[in-house]
Amino acid sequence: MHNHDLDLIAALAEGRLDADQARSAEESFAGCDECSTNLMSHRASLAATATAERPGLTMAESSELRRQVGDAVGLSPRIEKAPQRRPWMGLATAAAVVIALIAVAPLVNLLSTDSDDAAASATTIAVTQEVAESPTAADSAEAPLATAAPATEAPFAQAPVGAAEGGAAEFSGRLDRDAALPESLLDFGNVDDLDKFLNEVPQGIENEAVSRALTLLELSYYRQEFAAATDEVAVTCTPDEVLELADTADSVITIGTADFAGTEFLILLVTLTDETRLVLALDAVNCEVLAQVEQ
Amino acid sequence: MTHRADTDYELVQRFLGGDSLAFEELMTAHEDRVFGVCLRMLRDREAALDATQETFVTVLRKADRFAGRSAFSTWLYRVAMNTCYDALRRRKRKPETQLPEHHAPPDLTAGDELRAVELRPDIEAALAELPPEFRAAVVLVDVEGTALAEASEILSVPVGTIKSRVFRGRRLLADALGNLSPRTGHLKDE
């Protein structure tokens, strides 16, 4: 078998050799079936790809693409005019809501021991009240995801955690997604995906949680769609800013990051003072919590 | 740097300064080609549109990190390729939309989707037969005319690997074309 240089075969097929070089190469390949086959393949493939047409966007597609991209990167005047929010408020918001849930869950159980639905409804009411008392709730009326008190008023270690100390041990059930999770976690996601997230992550170790969370990042696409259609403000939510919250919880650890649909994602493991652990999938751009589970 | 690369660098700087016209120029310069690459990688127009959008959003959001050491287009197509690979991985996890394995029967709907944009179904169906890494190399180098060095940057593999993928991809493509009915773009023997 000949040991011909594949580069030479490619160069001949691509027409990069001068006449003498080409003739010499052809002669050397003449007695080599494999070389001839290779040469024919290169030529057939090149002939085909040379005639391949270049697909293009239609005018409508191009226009829509630019609108979507422009909105997402902040070229929209609507977005530019929107007020700035505190970058870590999303996490603090979620934390406040989660802690409220933990705090009221035992009470709910006491009030309604034989009806899960009733318990879930009561939990929802308690969360709603927490939200209603928030001084920022009115400001966030057009931004359904921003629904709770500012972080300074509802850090992890404040009253809700104290309340949870007595009750968290009894609160062993997973949150009822349909009734107990705040709307902010449900509005924009694929419900089936959220179910999967909630059902599977608590069973795993941290890496498994990250792995599973990453498969759920398609949810961010819906969030992005929503942000483009509302007055949501794009702010920067860096890991460092998120970790400012670490002194209000036992720890906040970034256990994963990812890009999806143009949205940077943080997967955080938050350990509260009662050792309750939460895995949060956090949109790193606008700091909104997309999904969360308790471990 | 080429004139295009210089122009792109200036456009990026202007975009960072809030110039929406620069944004439009960047989109005009690159959107069709990014879309074309995504369409050939994903073989689905809607998926290609999504990938194109995701690519531009990702790149423009991080445009402040672009130092101009390599061409903007190299970065852009690297993100596009990574986005497509991600999309293919996600698709592969869903049995109902699983990609055909190499040498498996072709996806008979691929040609329909591509015919919608008036591409030659035989070539597109043959390209669709290639495993993604070979398809990426052939599309970039032979269809898009990207230099081997730039393709190696885009795909983050050594030049030698790109060459190998292009060469093997050409053989696979020729084999697939040889097995295709020229009128339908479907395999003769299947």
**Can you give the pLDDT at residue A275?**
62
Q: What is the pLDDT of residue A56?
A: 85
DSSP 8-state secondary structure symbol assigned to residue A183:
G
The token pair that represents A236 in the structure block: 């920067």
- Band (B91; pLDDT cuts 50, 70, 90): confident
B31 touches chain A (CB under 8 A): yes
Residue whose tokens read 């053989």: B171
pLDDT averaged over every residue in chain B: 79
Amino acid identity of residue A100, one-letter, is: A
Amino acid at B187: L
Q: Judged by CB atoms within 8 Å, which residues 257-286 of A form the interface with B? A: 259-262, 285
CA A78 → CA A229, B12, B26, distances in Å? 10, 22, 22
Nearest residue of chain B to residue A264 (CA atoms): B58
Segment A76-112, tens digit of pLDDT = 533 232 233 333 344 444 444 444 334 333 333 332 3
Residues of chain A in contact with residue B166, where contact means CB-CB under 8 angstroms, are: 10
**With a CB-CB cutoff of 8 Å, which residues 113-132 of chain A face chain B?**
none
Kindly report which listed range (A261-270, B33-42, B91-100, B140-149) carries the lowest average pLDDT score. B91-100
> Chains A and B: how many Cβ contacts under 8 Å?
126
| B142 to A44: CB separation less than 8 angstroms, yes or no | no
More confident residue, B107 or A78: B107
Please state, as a whole number, how many other Cβ atoms lie within 10 Å of the Cβ of residue A78: 11
> Is B128 or A261 the better-scoring residue by pLDDT?
B128
* CB pair distance less than 8 Å for A48 and B173: yes
A114/A134 Cα distance (integer angstroms): 31
Question: Does any CB of chain A come closer than 8 Å to the CB of residue B187?
Answer: no
| Residues A106, A169 contacting (CB under 8 angstroms) | no
CA B139, CA A114: separation in Å to the nearest integer?
63
pLDDT at position A153, please? 25
Give A221 to chain B, closest Cα distance, Å: 10
Closest-CA residue of chain A to B25: A66
Contact B138, B166 (CB under 8 A): yes
Whole-Å CA distances, A13 to A5, A6, A27, A265? 13, 11, 14, 46
Query: Does residue B158 carry a pLDDT above 50?
Result: yes
Contact B93 A215 (CB under 8 A): yes
DSSP state of B44: -
Residues 6+ apart with CB under 8 A from A173: A105
Spans of chain A, pLDDT less than 50: 1, 77-195, 197-198, 200-247
pTM (two decimals): 0.49
For residue A56, give the nearest of B32, B56, B138 by CB distance.
B32
A97/A292 Cα distance (integer angstroms): 11
Tell me how close the Cα of B141 comes to any Cα of chain A, in angstroms: 10
Does B124 sit within 8 Å of A52, measured CB to CB? yes
The answer to whether B38 contacts chain A (CB < 8 Å) is no
A192 and chain B in contact, CB less than 8 A: no
Is residue B179 predicted with pLDDT exceeding 60? yes
Asked whether this complex has an ipTM greater than 0.85, the answer is no
CB contact under 8 A, B32 and A57: yes
DSSP state of B3: H
**Helix orientation angle between B45-61 and B20-42, rounded to the nearest 10 degrees:** 140
Q: Which of A49, A53, A54 sits opposite B138 (nearest CB)?
A: A49
Between positions 206 and 235 of A, the ones with CB within 8 A of B are: 215, 218
Residue B42 contacts by C-beta under 8 Å, 6 or more apart in sequence?
B48, B51, B84, B87, B88
| Minimum-distance CB partner of A49 among B54, B123, B163 | B123
Confidence at residue B39, expressed as pLDDT on a 0 to 100 scale:
92
**Cβ–Cβ < 8 Å for A85, A235:** yes
Whether B151 and chain A come into contact, CB under 8 Å, resolves to no
Query: Which residue would you say has higher pLDDT here, A177 or B74?
Result: B74
β-sheet with A277-283: strand ranges across: A251-260, A263-271, A277-283, A289-294
Closest Cα in chain A, distance from residue B56 (Å): 7
Q: Which of B57, B75, B130 to mutate to probe the A interface, most A CBs <10 Å?
A: B57
Which residues in chain A are contacts of B178 at CB distance < 8 A?
44
User: Is the CB of B14 inside 8 Å of chain A's CB atoms?
Assistant: no
Residue A236: closest CA among chain B residues belongs to which residue?
A: B61
